[in-house]
Amino acid sequence: MAKKANPSFMLDLDGIRILVTRKRVKNVNFRIGSNGEALMSVPWNTSRQRAEQYALGHLDWFKRTLARKEATKPAMPSQWESGEKVRVWGEEVELCVRETKDHSYCSLEGSLLVLSVPAGSSSEYREALVESWKRDELRLRLEDLLPECEERVGAHATSVTLRRMKTRWGSCTTSTGRIRLNTALVEAPPQCLEMVLVHELCHLHVPNHGPKFHALMDLHYPSWRVCRRYLNKSGIL
């Protein structure tokens, strides 16, 4: 019996790592994932050698696109000190760290994201405080947004979990109705949160991303492609 080809493999070409995935498609496709990963899909019977030839022919494109994505990626706080920048609901704000002997908190005050923390607190402590604030921000937005979107889509989530995810804006377990949303959505414009929520609710009707799913998205959130382009180019993930 002939050995089946691996569906995915990695190419390392001139310092660029490209994840190649064999699919039942007719054409070769090249793209950069939302997490900055170089991706290529090829027809199922494509050999590794042939795939490498395709990749070499587009290596300059990968380099240019990765460099452009890195250049536009917003700087995130490194030490979580006053003066560093962070994005809140699509707008850039400045961190303002204040020392306190009372309880710690994080709050948005105009164009400042204020961190009230003990003297000598670590950057990890401050980052965790901001992450907790993001979850609170999402919960507050979802109080009205979730029921409205559920009514619009005609689907009900059994639970919504908020957590930081590295590669996904949201996910849905269709068998249980459980939805997970990335707390990084607080960094994007509010309409992106609405689009991702509608996206996951639509999966309760259609579990895949086929034509029926796209038709549902067109019906319930017509501008979803605009939000998707923003998120893909934002550099947040």
pLDDT tens figures, 73-93: 555 677 899 999 999 999 999
Per DSSP bridges, beta strands 105-109 and 112-117 are antiparallel
pLDDT tens figures, 197-208: 999 999 999 999
* Cα–Cα dist 131/120, whole Å: 19
Cα–chain center distance at 226: 15
pLDDT tens figures, 43-60: 999 999 999 999 999 999
DSSP lists the bridge partners of residue 8 as 21
pLDDT for the residue 1: 39
Q: Quick check: 38 pLDDT over 60?
A: yes
* Cα–Cα dist 52/49, whole Å: 5
Both tokens assigned to 196: 């991702």
Provide mean pLDDT across the span 95-119: 94
Domains recognised in the chain with CATH numbers: 8-72 (no CATH), 85-132 (no CATH), 141-234 (3.30.2010.10)
Provide mean pLDDT across the span 160-164: 96
Neighbours of 157 (CB within 10 A): 21
Question: H helices of 7-165, where?
Answer: 48-57, 59-72, 123-153
pLDDT for the residue 75: 55
Mean pLDDT rounded to a whole number for the chain: 91
* Cα–Cα dist 183/233, whole Å: 18
Check: pTM over 0.85? Answer yes or no: no
Q: CA dist 46 to 4, 50, 58, 158, 161, Å?
A: 12, 6, 16, 43, 40
Residue 94, classed as helix, strand or coil, is strand
* Cα–Cα dist 224/231, whole Å: 11
* Cα–Cα dist 183/139, whole Å: 10
